[in-house]
Structure 1
Amino acid sequence: MSAATEDTVQTRKAPSMAALAVVVVVLTLIAGAGGWFLGGQLGLAVPVAASGAAEKKTPSVEAMPDGSVVVLKPILTNVKIPQDVWIRLEAGLIVRPGETISDELTTAVSADFMAFLRTVNLMQLRGPAGLEYLRTDLQERARMRTDGKVDKVYIWALVME
């Protein structure tokens, strides 16, 4: 190796810690400003009322049921395929306004749900689409059993083991 190449290798210095800290701080500020800007563009910023207090958002009509809620007892059963998989379903019924459902009818709806879950293949319940299909099927069964008194079926918990 020649003396000239040894001098250039020795004269190169590693970046100082201060320069590295400055670069990290500048990049952090740029990322923070970009996040703030995109948050404002996407409408995630909280609007401020004239008095300076944050306005309350009203929930959508879909989220607020008009009828009464009937909570079903948890249903525990196994599925058809594979038979060693158990399902626990916690659900509730939204009854149309002005309608009532007797305890016997609630028990019959719960029994229908259990009978339906015993015929389900585990592959049918995969993903969000499977959960939506399950809710739709249970809702149709509840409407048929109650002669249209049930408006919606909500699934609060679905555990498979």
Structure 2
Amino acid sequence: MSIIEQFSPQPKTPSLPLQAGVLAAVTVAAIALGWFAGQYLNRSSAEAAAAVETQDAAAEQDQLRGTEIQLEAITTNLAVPNTMWVRLEASIVLDQPPSPTLADEIHQDLLAYMRTVKVYQIEGASGFRNLKADLEERARIRSSGHVKQVLIRTLLFE
């Protein structure tokens, strides 16, 4: 053994009880942090669920206030490409009881509109939203503003 090795400090390793204490402290801190995070998220999800229930109840009340009429299915070909067919099943929600011929008039108007639609106009989510907005606008015009909403139940392309 050389003189340098004799006088150089030997590295100390932490004692086993100290290591166990640090491990226990970190474990307790992790458990506490997990519990607090769970409580926070649970409270947030409960508030979100209550908000959704409130919105659903309001929508249900709106539906009860209106009269919903199922229209006959619309099956026609699109303007471009004219080999592509579309089937649309929809309902309208009115703010008052309808006249006997109103549903047929709206059905014929929506059928005529669907014949003018080009496939690239209704691609994607924004195209679907635009189609729905156009259908609602045409139905409101045809009903003198009594149609509150057009509900698209099925939209198939072939």
TM-score (norm 2): 0.65
| Partner amino acid, structure 1, of 2:45 | L
Indicate the residue corresponding to 1:8 in structure 2. none
Shift of 1:127: 1.2
RMSD of Structure 2 on Structure 1 (CA) = 3.0
Q: Report the alpha carbon displacement of residue 80 of structure 1 after superposing the two structures with TM.
A: 0.3
Report the Cα offset of residue 46 of structure 1: 8.6
2:136 counterpart (129, 132, 139): 139
Determine whether 1:40 maps to 2:36.
Answer: no
Aligned pairs for 1:104-115 within 5 A: 104-115=101-112
Q: What amino acid is aligned across from residue 113 of structure 1 in structure 2?
A: L
- Given that 1:100 and 1:149 are in contact with CA atoms closer than 8 Å, whether structure 2 keeps it comes out as no
Letter in 2 for 1:68: T
Among 122, 145, 159, which residue is 2:156 paired with?
A: 159
Structure 2: which 5+ residue stretches go unaligned? 1-33
Q: Is the aligned partner of 1:80 residue 2:76?
A: no
State the shift of 1:133 in Å.
Answer: 0.7
Distance, in Å, in 2 between the alignment partners of 1:158 and 1:85 is 13
Identity %: 32
| Residue 129 (structure 1) aligns with | 126
The SS at the match of 1:101 is coil
Whose helix proportion is higher, 1 or 2?
Answer: 2
Tell me the CA shift for residue 103 of structure 1.
3.3
What corresponds to 2:100 in structure 1? 103
User: 1:104: Cα distance to partner?
Assistant: 1.6
Alignment-mate amino acid for residue 79 of structure 2? K
Give the gaps of 5 or more residues in structure 1.
1-32, 48-55
Please state if 1:57 is matched with 2:53: yes
Q: Matched residues in 1 for 2:157 and 2:109: separation?
A: 19
What's the offset of the Cα at 1:75?
A: 0.6
Any idea what SS the aligned residue of 2:93 has?
strand
Runs of 4+ in 1 over 4 A off after TM superposition: none
Bigger-Rg structure (1/2): 2
Distance across 2 between alignment mates of 1:57 and 1:159? 31
